[in-house]
Amino acid sequence: MKRNTITFLTAIILSIAILSSCKSTPTTFVNTGSDLNGEVYTVYVFSKLTKVNAVNKETGETFLIPTKKCKYESVTTKVQIPLDKSIPYKAEELTFHVEGKMATPYKFILYNLDKKRENFIVFVEGKPVSLGTDYTYDSKTSCITFITEDFMPNMSYEILWITDTDGMSSISNDFEKFKDKYESLALSWIETL
């Protein structure tokens, strides 16, 4: 099992998320917090949710939330997670552990993408990849879909985009494998904006 790290960055850090994929099964999980509006987004598209937990950031207390009570919108990756009265914490004090089956082909919704500029870049295995060759992009839904059969969610990748709050967000997996390359590529890309 490999661990993936997802980080949502805007002018203020919205949340830190960890995305983990298993090679043997088409499942993954995301640990993410709520954004400034109290909403939760997975960025990675699930075909079905299988487990949802709320975890207190300070104490590590875990609360199971029945997936039947959660509403998941695969078009936006928004998850509506009802907090039962038995959970003595506010949403901003929690990290949400969301597990599910991966949608195929592999898709990412660029949450909060600046629609006017639509600036984003995609790196896989330490190199930039190409729109039309490796992935498609739907501007209506801000969805990146990998079309190359070479892409697998357990590979090292990073997707960066400019948000509508003049911040930047990213989603990555196995970032450490090509950390120096990704940081250099990201800085070069930012300088072109």
Closest CA to 17 of 4, 2, 32: 32
Q: What is the pTM of this model?
A: 0.78
Predicted confidence at residue 26, as pLDDT, reads 63
Predicted confidence at residue 153, as pLDDT, reads 74
Predicted confidence at residue 152, as pLDDT, reads 80
Q: Please list the pLDDT of the chain residue by residue as tens digits (193 residues).
A: 433 333 333 222 233 333 333 344 368 888 888 887 889 999 989 999 999 999 999 999 999 999 999 999 999 999 999 998 889 999 999 999 999 998 989 999 999 999 998 999 999 999 999 999 999 999 999 999 999 878 887 789 999 999 988 789 998 888 999 999 999 999 999 999 8
Please state, in angstroms and rounded to a whole number, the distance separating the CA atoms of residues 21 and 3. Answer: 7
